[in-house]
């Protein structure tokens, strides 16, 4: 088994397991403080990596404004709502609902990225995904927790929209920024609102229930789920076909559901399972179409290359 395949499998397992550790940590810690402290630790590690590797930092004011905006959307909004929502849903369901991110991203990208226009196939994928979300919402509204479960599910989906918007802005305007500098900057700007919300609504962070399980969950999420996973992902992007890395979001929800069932005894109703199938089928359709588009673009580039060579010789 090649090294890229091993890294791909490990990364899928790590991102599939983070949902379980979020749920475990939320047993003792409130959501905003929990998420904020996670990124304090993760950002500190990335800053050390930046210093050790002498990664260049952005100098333009507009780059820092973009990092701040996308950081608030990707970390404050997304993770704040995700942690708050997972208090009210199962870990597996939270992972399933976040899978809708690429569908949101396609709609937003249509207005920001000229090369990523919406096509009929993409519309079908988005429709499948949104139908799955609607089915899950209907199921959550009917469970015993009622409004709380539905509110948690809605919060996770809104957070997914926030990170999708952030991802499109980064792709459209921040390709020139080093990934490590971008991620660290986003975390720093994003963790500030999380910690402020924690102090305002959850109280003094030093007086919270810092149980061994809470600390273990926090360290796993910060060290493994954020810092190490980030470095693994960017290594993978450089050493594996990008279309294969796009499949990771399709693998992580089943892992999250399995771990939630194995460790926490979480289950799925038939409507949630059907909704999950709809979301993942829609995203699979989107991913396969993107894969074909990338392959077509690569083939066209290879075909044009000899012509260009003849023109310059």
Tens digits of per-residue pLDDT, 244-303? 776 787 788 899 989 999 999 988 888 888 888 888 888 888 777 666 665 555 554 444
Rounded Cα–Cα distance for residues 156 and 147 (Å): 14
Angle, nearest 10°, between helix axes 78-86 and 91-98?
150
* Residue in the block written with tokens 């949104």: 130
Rounded Cα–Cα distance for residues 182 and 57 (Å): 8
Number of separate helices (H) and strands (E) present in the chain: 14, 0
- Exposed/middle/buried for 286, CB within 10 Å: 0-12, 13-18, 19+? buried
Contact 94, 156 (CB under 8 A): yes
At residue 146, the pLDDT reads: 63
At residue 303, the pLDDT reads: 46
| Angle made by CA atoms 230, 233, 235, in degrees to the nearest 5 | 110
Q: Is the pTM of this model over 0.85?
A: yes
**Sign of CA pseudo-dihedral 98, 103, 104, 108:** positive
Does the pLDDT of residue 80 top 50, yes or no?
A: yes
Least confident interval from 8-17, 30-39, 64-73, 274-283 = 274-283
Does the pLDDT of residue 221 top 50, yes or no?
A: yes
Measuring CA to CA, how many Å separate 4 from each of 1, 12, 15, 248, 288? 9, 12, 16, 13, 20
At residue 66, the pLDDT reads: 97
Rounded Cα–Cα distance for residues 157 and 161 (Å): 6
Rounded Cα–Cα distance for residues 122 and 294 (Å): 14
Instruction: Provide the b/e sequence for 183-211 (b: ≥16 CB within 10 Å).
Output: bbbbbbbbbbbbbebbeeebeebeebeee
Contact 103, 287 (CB under 8 A): no
């Amino acid at each position: 088994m090649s090294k890229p395949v091993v890294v791909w499998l490990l990364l899928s397992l790590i991102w599939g397991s983070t949902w379980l550790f979020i749920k475990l940590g939320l047993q003792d810690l409130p959501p905003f403080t929990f998420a904020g402290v996670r990124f304090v630790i993760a950002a500190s590690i990335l800053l050390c990596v930046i210093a050790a590797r002498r990664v260049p930092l952005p100098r333009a004011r507009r780059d820092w404004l973009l990092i701040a905006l996308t950081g608030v959307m990707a970390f404050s909004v997304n993770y704040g709502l995700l942690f708050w929502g997972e208090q009210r849903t199962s870990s597996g369901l939270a992972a399933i609902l976040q899978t809708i991110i690429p569908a949101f991203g396609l709609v937003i990208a249509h207005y920001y990225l000229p090369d990523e226009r919406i096509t009929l196939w993409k519309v079908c994928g988005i429709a499948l995904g949104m139908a799955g979300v609607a089915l899950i919402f209907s199921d959550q509204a009917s469970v015993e927790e009622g409004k709380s479960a539905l509110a948690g599910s809605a919060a996770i989906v809104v957070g997914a929209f926030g990170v999708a918007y952030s991802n499109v802005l980064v792709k459209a305007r921040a390709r020139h920024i080093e990934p490590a500098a971008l991620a660290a900057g986003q975390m720093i700007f994003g963790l500030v609102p999380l910690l402020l919300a924690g102090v305002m609504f959850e109280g003094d962070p030093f007086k919270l229930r810092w149980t061994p399980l809470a600390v273990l969950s926090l360290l796993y999420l910060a060290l493994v789920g954020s810092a190490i996973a980030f470095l693994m992902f960017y290594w993978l992007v450089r050493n594996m076909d990008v279309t294969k890395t796009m499949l990771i979001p399709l693998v992580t929800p089943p892992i999250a559901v399995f771990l939630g069932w194995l460790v926490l005894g979480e289950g799925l109703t038939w409507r949630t399972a059907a909704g999950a199938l709809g979301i993942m089928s829609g995203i699979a359709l989107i991913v396969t179409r993107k894969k074909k588009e990338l392959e077509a673009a690569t083939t066209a580039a290879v075909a044009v290359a000899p012509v260009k060579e003849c023109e310059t010789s």
